[in-house]
Structure 1
Amino acid sequence: MNYFKNESDQILRFIIFFLLIPLTNLISASEFEVHVNKGANSLSVIQNSKIIKEYSISIGRGGIGDKRMVGDKKTPVGTYYVTRLKNSDKFHYFFGLNYPNLKDGFYGYKRKLITRDQFNSIKRASLNKITPPQNTKLGGAIGIHGIGKQTKQKLLIHKNINWTEGCIAVENHEVRELKKFIKLGTLVKIIE
């Protein structure tokens, strides 16, 4: 008996299968995890189920809710992993996340925001632990970064306003410190 008769059911089957594979097999080994609580504006570094460092953050100025599309200025909610590490003139340092992930791709495909080919590209990127397409209607370039050239005004804004386009921002000295904990494959869990 075939329980999955149409394309949507086949995609759902793939997602269910993907979620049943232990995440530890899909990402590079890292002794640390990063947990982001959007409501508390906090980022915690976790080791052996214990918080070892905590930082105040700014998130997307689009407010509460999950990121759904480019330009909504929301920080995504879900489980991601780090796929890019790079110096940034604009933000000091950038830890790129695998947004959009499979969940985000499925959402976008079901709502006709992305094509089947784009969804398949996101699927392949998830399986191969690489950066997914960044130029779809779902948006991209989501990560953890610093605030760039640090001024009193920028620090004041950072401490009082969620100002990013959807990323998670910490102060420059904090993003440098995070380089000790965050590597390619580090798990990043983002909750409301």
Structure 2
Amino acid sequence: MLRKFPRRWFLLGGVAAFLSGCANKFRSYSGPEVTRVRLYKSERLLVLDGAQGVLKTYPVGLGFAPDGHKQFEGDGRTPEGAYMIDRRNPNSLFHLSIGISYPNEADRAFAAAQGKSPGGDIFIHGGPRKGIDPTDKQDWTAGCIAITDRQIEEVYAMVRDGTPINIYA
């Protein structure tokens, strides 16, 4: 009996190590470089482009007020315009996330002229709320771009900081 106990623990430890390796949210990517990201809000479609064309597309969910350009903090809109991927958050509340450089100078100036804050912290992220599937094109974020956890793992691995993102109405 004494000999079986360590063997069982060894086997259980091996299974646990294997399963934890499968659950790793950090993927590697060795394919073509993503040269640009495009978001088509009306189509709820995120496109990753490479030098030779489209590499990958994803259905998305947007801010809870999807029509129009984000102007102020709390308006629930997703920005429109030319931005950059400027940061990543491996400890996001929404599984993983990559940041968009909103607000830019024009966004800040417009909001300031109205005496308001433009808001910020716009991300592409995973982790939709329970019962919400971004592939169903439900808009639930505060202005971010939502995809599934599995999809953000791919995007997080593929897209580098400094990649331009164009967001179209």
What amino acid does structure 2 have at the position aligned with 1:145? H
Structure 1, gaps ≥5 residues long: 1-29, 114-136
Contact 2:70 2:76 in 1 (8 A): yes
Contact 2:96 2:156 in 1 (8 A): no
Question: How many percent identity over aligned positions?
Answer: 28
Alignment RMSD (CA, Å):
1.9
Partner of 2:113: 110
Bigger shift: residues 102-111 or 84-93: 102-111
Partner of 1:66: 69
Partner of 1:119: none
Residue of 122, 126, 130 corresponding to 1:146: 126
Residue of 67, 79, 84 corresponding to 1:76: 79
Q: Could you say which structure has the larger radius of gyration?
A: 2
Contact 2:62 2:146 in 1 (8 A): yes
Q: Secondary structure at the match of 1:88?
A: coil
**Is 2:162 the partner of 1:162?**
no
The size of the alignment, in residue pairs, is: 137
Contact 1:90 1:148 in 2 (8 A): no
Contact 2:34 2:48 in 1 (8 A): no
Structure 2: distance between partners of 1:68 and 1:49: 34
Q: Secondary structure at the match of 2:111?
A: helix
CA offset at residue 109 of structure 1?
Answer: 3.1
Q: 1:62 to 1:49 in 2, by over 3 A?
A: farther
Structure 1: distance between partners of 2:111 and 2:52: 33
Contact 1:35 1:44 in 2 (8 A): yes
Contact 1:147 1:154 in 2 (8 A): no
Structure 1: distance between partners of 2:135 and 2:50: 27
1:18-167 equivalences under 5 Å are 31-48=34-51, 50-113=53-116, 137-147=117-127, 153-155=131-133, 159-167=136-144
Partner of 2:167: 190
Q: Which structure shows the higher helix fraction?
A: 1
Structure 2, gaps ≥5 residues long: 1-32
Q: Structure 1-normalised TM-score?
A: 0.65
CA offset at residue 49 of structure 1?
Answer: 5.9
Structure 2: distance between partners of 1:147 and 1:34: 20
Structure 2: distance between partners of 1:163 and 1:95: 18
